[in-house]
Chains A and B, each alone.
Chain A
Amino acid sequence: MNSEQGQKPYSLDALRSGDRAEFASIVEAYSPMIYRLGLKMLNNPQDAEDILQETFIKAYRNIGKFYGRSSVSTWLYRIATNEALMSLRRKRPEAVSFENPGLHESEPQEPLQIVDWCCMPEEEFLTAESRARLDEAASRLPANLRVVFILRDIEGLSTRETAQVLDISEMAVKTRLSRARLRLREDLTEYFGQLVEEE
């Protein structure tokens, strides 16, 4: 039996031999994380549902090629991120440049907005408007930065796991995460900074 943190143990042999009950329990256990990834990547429930279905259809078809060298969650995240990036490429080809993420990837942009908005009352951060602003800011990130940010800071994967899912180096994960976070900080400063100045 194999097991992953917080998940029910599963039998790799049963999965690989096509045991449908075992596959159903994997679908049950991992569909919330795949659905959330789809929602965060594509910002649309219908697209998230498509990603969810396609991920498990591909997983079922390719179960014979899963040898358990990575965890089930890493394997499923890999399928799901590929699906999400392909979907984005179909919808907005200009927004996806995974293979060629830019010549100046290691150069961070300079912070433009220097306003200390950390001191705002906590409830200001929890309003529906603030939450919508967080989603909007994340959806404006280029796909190659957004996927790293979602896996690391929202799904809580380690740098190493994120690198395995995306098949990139750990250094590339750190660089893209840094760029994503700085861009989000910049974007949120524009919004929360204005609220602070209005008070």
Chain B
Amino acid sequence: MHRHEDCRQLLNSLSGYVDGDLHQELCDEIELHMKDCENCRIVVDTLSKTISLYQTSSEPIKVPDEVRQRLFHRLDLDEFLNL
């Protein structure tokens, strides 16, 4: 049986866990805990999903042409605009 106290302690490690950043021992402990704790499994799954949503929604941005022109002008680099 898991204890609520364990959930609170593991919470600190979940971000490292989803990054694959933790020692094997702590990973095993989290995985064992999740087998018995549906709430923590949901937190881990929705945490991973949250991160992946931000990563996939951040496509490369093109600087708008007029912003780029104003930037080069402000830096006195107009002669390099069309290179």
CB distance from A190 to the nearest CB of B (A): 11
Partner of A125, one of B16, B53, B62, B72: B53
With A39-B61, A131-B57 in contact, do A27 and B15 touch (Cβ < 8 Å)? Answer: no
Q: Give the dominant DSSP class at A's interface.
A: helix
Residues in chain A near residue B14, CB distance under 8 A: 178, 182
- Where chain B touches its partner, the secondary structure class is helix
Supposing A57-B75, A116-B45 touch, asked if A20 and B80 sit within 8 A by C-beta, the answer is yes
Please provide the chain B residues from 31 to 55 with a CB less than 8 Å away from any CB of chain A in the complex: 39, 42-43, 45-47, 49-51, 53-55
Residue interface bits A38-52, CB-to-B below 8 A is 1, else 0: 011000010001001
Contacts of A108 in B (CB 8 A): 11-12
Determine which of B61, B74, B83 lies in contact with A35 in the assembled complex, contact meaning CB atoms within 8 Å. Answer: B61
Find chain A residues with CB under 8 A from B83 CB.
24
User: Is B58 among interface residues, defined by CB-CB distance under 8 A?
Assistant: yes
